[in-house]
Chain A
Amino acid sequence: MNLTDLQALEQRYLMRTYKRAPVEFVRGEGALLWDGEGKEYLDFLGGISVCSVGHCNPDVVEAVREQAGRLMHTSNLFYTEPMVRLAERLSESSLGGRVFFSNSGTEANECAIKIARKHAHRRGISAPEIISFERDFHGRTYGSLSATPALAANPDMAPMLPGFRAVPFDDPEALRAAVGESTAAVLIEPIQGEAGIYPLGDETLLAARQACDESGALLVFDEIQTGIGRTGSLWAYEQTPVRPDLLTSAKALGGGMPIGACVTSPETSEVLEPGDHGSTFAGGPLASVAALAVLEIVDDAALLRGVREQGAKLRDALLALDGVGTVRGRGLMLGVGLDEGFEAAAVGADLLERGLIVNVPEPGTLRLLPPLTVDSDQIERAVATIAAALLSYAPQ
């Protein structure tokens, strides 16, 4: 079956929710992908920050292969060792409380929203409110969607859940003013990902922490994109001056297997009780062994140092290019702001033609999320490809 056949079947059978690039990938290894015609691509998107240990990482593959042959699913009515070991590892590496597993990032945020609302009700708040920032992206299920202002504004999807409010991004005063007696939580992306890689400033983070402490609200970090080593520490909050009460993880956690997690602090670990939440597949042994294999690779000082060093190298090289105005982000989560006149969408499409996969989250920005295991040669190759593309698309 070739690409044309696939496109015909897609037109007939798949809902039209995605605009796909005209490429069929059939194989991956490390930072490389190959299409159906054998063409090689350098993947600097990593399945949108999922394949952080590279495509088909041998340790992850072996863990999944072995587990698949032994036990794939039992439900959460019984014990399985990988789930419990993964919960221990996630808790001990972050906030120290309990873990609820899910199948995706948006579900992880649903769990955080439930905890925040119940926590608020127990404090006597009848109409709890969750505050997020404009241009945040927290997911597409209704709770997470309601905390995602740009998508929540779509009238075709109305009504959203009540009890969500957005404040201007990185505005500490607006945040302080918004947090009050009815605030259940402040939900934060420490670095906005889908918006185009915009880090929150320290002042805003400190204001959020302080406002939450003063009101009794919970500070929730959505680390779905920033976590699992993406920014050069296992969790992005470790490079900020605050520590959240809850954090959510997904994407890279499973190395390609679907899994999400909501981790609490010890103080919030007793909020959810039996019957409050659940999921049939979540924490299953297959996804859990994959996540354990990922953490075994990523939770490593040398690898994380490499992420910071390679990220700095990539940033410096990009900033030296004609056509690049800014480079935002941390570690290997970078947003490349193009100079005025450059069409990022056209540049992105041209890069794909040249064998480099990036993403265009907004006009004027290229988003780079390469595997954390990317090597220096691959970084140089990516920079050279971007330089060539920018040269050919330079405004006249």
Chain B
Amino acid sequence: MSKRPSEPRALTSGTAERLAAIVEAAEQAAAKVIDDAEEQARRQLSEASARADRIVAERLRVLADELDPPASSQREPHLRPVSAVPQSEAPAGPRSGSAGARLLATQMAVSGSSREEIAERLRRGFDIADTSEILDAILGPEE
């Protein structure tokens, strides 16, 4: 009497392997979906952060322009003969020490310096003991 081949067991074993493979593939796919979602979230967060940085930088640049107006708006006409430029017509204020301090603070803010870094630079370079007025005007009041 011939024994029945152990096909069912082989089938069972093969099915189990296939099932295991399917489960593994499904797990990998799920993991990839999660990874992709996380990556997308990170990317979106990063892009949002970059957009916010750009908006802040642009606003600060506008502020810097206001503090240091383009030469054309200070000296009309810009390309005039120098003989027509008496010393007394030099722009008053915008390039003085205090305006320089404000421009310095604004440029540092544009370049990403912290409030503390800017305050330290103002104290060191301009001997300004209380830097809060300048910093509040540029960065907003401290929380």
Chain A residues within 8 Å of B, Cβ to Cβ: 119, 122-125, 181-182, 202, 205-206, 209-210, 213-216, 232-235, 237-243, 245, 265-268, 301, 304-305, 308
Contact = CB atoms under 8 A, between A and B. Distances in A.
28 contacts: A123-B80, A123-B81, A182-B82, A202-B104, A202-B125, A209-B95, A214-B87, A215-B85, A216-B78, A233-B107, A233-B113, A235-B111, A238-B107, A238-B110, A238-B111, A239-B121, A240-B104, A241-B125, A241-B126, A243-B64, A243-B103, A243-B107, A266-B72, A267-B70, A267-B72, A268-B71, A304-B111, A305-B112
Task: Provide the main secondary structure of the chain B interface.
Answer: helix
Interface string B85-102: 101001100011100110
Contacts of B75: 213, 216
B100 A233 contact: no
Contacts of A301: 53, 112
A243 B112 contact: no
A235 B61 CA distance: 14
Interface in B108-135: 108, 110-114, 117, 121, 125-126
A243 B100 CA distance: 9
Contacts of B91: 213
Contacts of A233: 107-108, 111-113
Nearest to B104: A241
Contacts of B108: 233, 238-239
Contacts of B82: 123-125, 181-182, 215-216
Contacts of A239: 104, 107-108, 111, 113, 121
A119 B79 contact: yes
A232 B85 CA distance: 38
A235 B72 CA distance: 23
Interface of B: 53, 64, 68, 70-72, 74-75, 78-83, 85, 87, 90-91, 95-97, 100-101, 103-104, 107-108, 110-114, 117, 121, 125-126
A241 B121 CA distance: 10
A306 to B, nearest CB: 11
Task: Provide the main secondary structure of the chain A interface.
Answer: helix
A295 to B, nearest CB: 14
A181 B108 CA distance: 33
B26 to A, nearest CB: 34
Given A267-B70, A301-B53, A181 B83 contact: yes
A210 B110 contact: no
A182 B82 CA distance: 8
Nearest to A241: B100
Contact of B126 (A202, A237, A243, A305): A202
Contacts of A122: 79
Contacts of A265: 70-71
B110 A214 contact: no
The 10 A-B pairs with the shortest beta carbon distances in the complex, nearest first, are A241-B100, A233-B111, A301-B112, A124-B81, A241-B104, A238-B111, A214-B90, A238-B107, A181-B82, A267-B72
A310 to B, nearest CB: 14
Contacts of A125: 82
Contact of B71 (A182, A235, A267, A305): A267
A238 B107 CA distance: 5
Given A301-B112, A305-B114, 11 more contacts: A125-B82, A206-B96, A210-B95, A214-B85, A216-B82, A233-B113, A238-B111, A239-B107, A239-B113, A243-B107, A305-B112
A96 B90 CA distance: 24
Contacts of A238: 107-108, 110-111
B100 A202 contact: yes
Contact of B90 (A124, A182, A213, A268): A213
A181 B125 CA distance: 30
Nearest to B72: A267
A214 B90 CA distance: 5
Nearest to B103: A241
A206 B100 contact: yes
Given A233-B112, A243-B64, A304-B112, A213 B71 contact: yes
A206 B95 contact: yes
Nearest to A268: B71
A233 B111 CA distance: 5
A243 B61 CA distance: 12
A125 B80 CA distance: 10
Contacts of A206: 95-97, 100
A96 to B, nearest CB: 8
